Amino acid sequence: MKKTNYRILLVGNPNAGKTTVFNSLAGMRCKVGNYSGVTVERKLGAFRMQDVTVEVEDLPGIYTLSASTAEERISRDAVAEGNFDLVVNVVDSSNFERNLFFTMQLAEMKVPMIIALNMTDELEKNGRYIDWKGLSAALGVPVIKCVGYSAQSAQRLKQFIIENIDACTLAHSPWAALESNILTEKMSLLAELLKSGLPENFSEAAEWMSVRVLENDPVVMGSLKEKTPHIFDAVKSVVADFEAAADEPPEMLVAAARYKIIDKVCMPFLKTRENKQVNVTRVLDSIFLNKYIGLPLFFALMYFVFEFVFALGDPLMNIMENGFATLSGWIAALWPEGEGEMAKAFVIDGIIGGVGAVFVFLPNIILLFLALSILEDSGYMARTAFLCDRVMKRFGLSGSSVIPMLIGFGCSVPAIIGTRTLKSKFERIATIMVIPLFSCGARFPVYVLLIPVFFPEHLRGAAMFAVYMTGILAALIVAKLLRMTALRGGESSFLIELPPYRLPRIRNVFEQVATRAGGFVKKAGTVILGMSIILWTLSTFPQKKEFSQDYDAAVAAVKADAALSTVAKTDAVAQLAAKKRGEEFDHTAMGRVGNFIEPAFRPLGFDGKIVSALLASLAAKEVFITQLGIIYGIGDNTEDDAPMLRQRLAVDYSPIQGMSILLFILLTAPCIATIGTTYTETKSAAIALGQFFGLGALAYAASLAFFQTASLFIHI
């Protein structure tokens, strides 16, 4: 009886478009990128066709079954376990030869497999095509052309899977294509030896295992030593004889032989059309990867991104601010006079003032993610890792570290998880330690709040660029110090596939923006809302009943003073309001905690309000804004002359204090979630605590040095 439930594995090289194929097959929206390390864990989905349900497992990208990273081990083990009905091997047609190396290894294992030739549209744009029927006959496995993001292509692939899932032919032995030589002779000898010693149900794997033995695969060798000790010494003797007779290590000869098989069996089916077009990727790479202008172009592009975010984002943010102010006004007007004043303050100041203070930055967040998604989907972001490799080596890292660092501009948590792709343990730990210095999306709204307060409009893009560059420079310096001291040794190699340049696909870009912006909105509606309620309570109670002066009378006197101009009256009222808020806040629980700690931070130019906001931001960096919004009561906009948060900060803090605050937020310890991820990934409390206190100390020292030095030259 035919089965109705199947399980398939989706495998392939990084950048082969595997996750895009997965999204099309299973209807899920996983992150799609142009660099390795995007898929750091298994992902599951399913589709149904012709009364058959197919579970799809998307495995991490892998170059070879000789696993050396956590991702490669996940994929290797999933294939080796055999708990599947079919393997769908996604091959990037535009990197045909390189992708086929892994295909040869799958063919050696005799797993039921189909090959999905992805990105054939891009290959054909460059005047080339693959004779997929000839390739299928040569390899002995079903082959289909596909375009990962195309709905029609996805339907054809689903149908192809259903047709082959029960009756998929096994691949021809790749090694049969080679003429007899010392390598094939030793493989045959090892295969016979393994057949004689392996249990009968494993004897079919003898040929594949003989290749893995010659490649000195630690898993296979360890298994042989444990389960077949009676033939282990004989196996090692054959390998030793081969090493003595060969000019190169056996694993190098095996790799070279695989490429020889690929050249002989597969490459003849890669054809070139007579009207071949200019290779756009090669032309663009001659510019963007130029050793003289490549990095300057990258920095110029990043500067343009920040200018774009401020130029377009500020007007949209002002609309959001006015919207929340109008909402507060409506609630205040509709609220019955004299009834439930505390509940009214909670809704307006606690919820709208807390969550709204963060929500107004959503347009800037969307624009930043839009710009980065376009660069990512175009194929440019993968090239930044290649560009930066030479620079990174000077700081004890490699281009491989750039990939998780770039992810860190979105969020430090997946960035730290992304370090699993690094082969060197010491490089991985050093990268984890400095990832928080690459400003995450949570810090971005804080910068968007503070920079316009302390910088004129024409310098805001430059200031944001300077903040990000300062973080990158600090990260490289800290990484260098770590690699020179506690984390010496363990050089890491760097290998990355550079995808072809392509016009960003609107669907991909908007899916990425929606996913990232949706995460921000979800966080604002859960974590930040919860923190707003807690912080409002701590920042409101106990309430102060008696003040140092009668502020209402003082405000009335200012407004009645005919000698003062309108601007002077507004400034005077704002100063009185700030003074009253300061007294009110100092009396609350949060104010008392902030004031208790304040003496330690006073040399940095911070007061109790800033200290309390920094403490609150340990939960999530955006909560820094939430706490200030609550302290300043920006949700309470019932007075005509009530200024917004930026204006109130401009009254209370000087530009030097503002820059000191910016520097501290840039360099200080990350949120609790990041510290928890560091512990989970390293299994070391010492490393996690070292990251927390080390970055905190770095931020304190840098802000102290800046503020005290600047104060010598500029009077506050």
Q: For the segment 457-513, what is each residue's pLDDT rounded down to a tens digit?
A: 889 999 999 999 999 999 999 999 998 988 877 665 566 667 778 888 887 888 888
CA-CA distance, 189 to 170, in Å (whole number)?
Answer: 23
Per-residue confidence (pLDDT) for residue 9, from 0 to 100: 93
**Lowest-pLDDT range of 1-10, 110-119, 296-305:** 1-10
Per-residue confidence (pLDDT) for residue 575, from 0 to 100: 79
Question: Is pLDDT at 698 greater than 90 in this prediction?
Answer: yes
Give the three-class secondary structure for 5: strand
Strand order in the sheet with 143-145: 43-49, 52-58, 5-12, 86-92, 113-118, 143-145
Percent of the chain with pLDDT over 90: 23
Per-residue confidence (pLDDT) for residue 1, from 0 to 100: 46
Residue with the larger pLDDT of the pair 694 and 305: 694
Per-residue confidence (pLDDT) for residue 672, from 0 to 100: 82
How many residues belong to the chain?
A: 716
Per-residue confidence (pLDDT) for residue 666, from 0 to 100: 95
Q: CA-CA-CA-CA torsion for 185, 187, 191, 197, nearest 10 degrees?
A: 100
Q: Are strands 86-92 and 128-130 parallel, antiparallel or unpaired?
A: unpaired
Per-residue confidence (pLDDT) for residue 643, from 0 to 100: 44
Question: Is pLDDT at 670 greater than 90 in this prediction?
Answer: no
CA-CA distance, 649 to 646, in Å (whole number)?
Answer: 5
Question: Is pLDDT at 180 greater than 80 in this prediction?
Answer: yes
Question: Is pLDDT at 419 greater than 50 in this prediction?
Answer: yes
Residue 381 tokens read as 């972001």
Question: Is pLDDT at 710 greater than 90 in this prediction?
Answer: yes
Q: How open is the CA angle 338-342-346, to the nearest 5 degrees? A: 130
Q: For residues 406-425, give the mean pLDDT.
A: 77
Per-residue confidence (pLDDT) for residue 635, from 0 to 100: 46
Per-residue confidence (pLDDT) for residue 716, from 0 to 100: 52
Q: Between the CA of residue 98 and those of 255, 267, 377, 391, 668, what are the distances in Å?
A: 12, 11, 21, 26, 43
* Cβ atoms of 598 and 608 closer than 8 Å: yes
Question: Is pLDDT at 421 greater than 70 in this prediction?
Answer: no
pLDDT tens-digit readout, 78-88: 888 888 999 99
Q: Are strands 43-49 and 52-58 parallel, antiparallel or unpaired?
A: antiparallel
Give the H or E element holding residue 327.
Answer: helix 294-334
**Lowest-pLDDT range of 107-116, 329-338, 525-534, 537-546:** 525-534
pLDDT tens-digit readout, 539-550: 888 988 888 888
CA-CA distance, 243 to 396, in Å (whole number)?
Answer: 34
Closest CA to 235 of 252, 265, 215: 215
Per-residue confidence (pLDDT) for residue 85, from 0 to 100: 92
Q: For residues 209-235, give the mean pLDDT.
A: 84
pTM reported for the whole predicted model? 0.67
pLDDT tens-digit readout, 588-619: 898 898 889 999 999 999 998 899 999 988 87
Q: For residues 5-11, give the mean pLDDT.
A: 92
206-214 helix and 229-245 helix, angle to the nearest 10 degrees: 50
Residue 45 tokens read as 């989905």
pLDDT tens-digit readout, 632-665: 865 444 343 334 788 888 888 999 999 999 999 9
Residue with the larger pLDDT of the pair 562 and 699: 699
Mean pLDDT of all residues in the chain? Answer: 84
CA-CA distance, 97 to 92, in Å (whole number)?
Answer: 9
Q: For residues 214-219, give the mean pLDDT.
A: 82
Main-chain dihedrals φ then ψ at residue 113, nearest 5 degrees: -145, 145
Per-residue confidence (pLDDT) for residue 160, from 0 to 100: 93
Per-residue confidence (pLDDT) for residue 143, from 0 to 100: 94
Q: Between the CA of residue 51 and those of 2, 3, 45, 54, 165, what are the distances in Å?
A: 11, 10, 17, 10, 14
Per-residue confidence (pLDDT) for residue 131, from 0 to 100: 92
Which domains are assigned to the chain?
A: 5-172 (3.40.50.300), 175-272 (1.10.287.1770), 278-497+506-543+588-714 (no CATH)
**Lowest-pLDDT range of 37-41, 334-338, 496-500, 589-593:** 37-41
Question: Is pLDDT at 36 greater than 80 in this prediction?
Answer: no
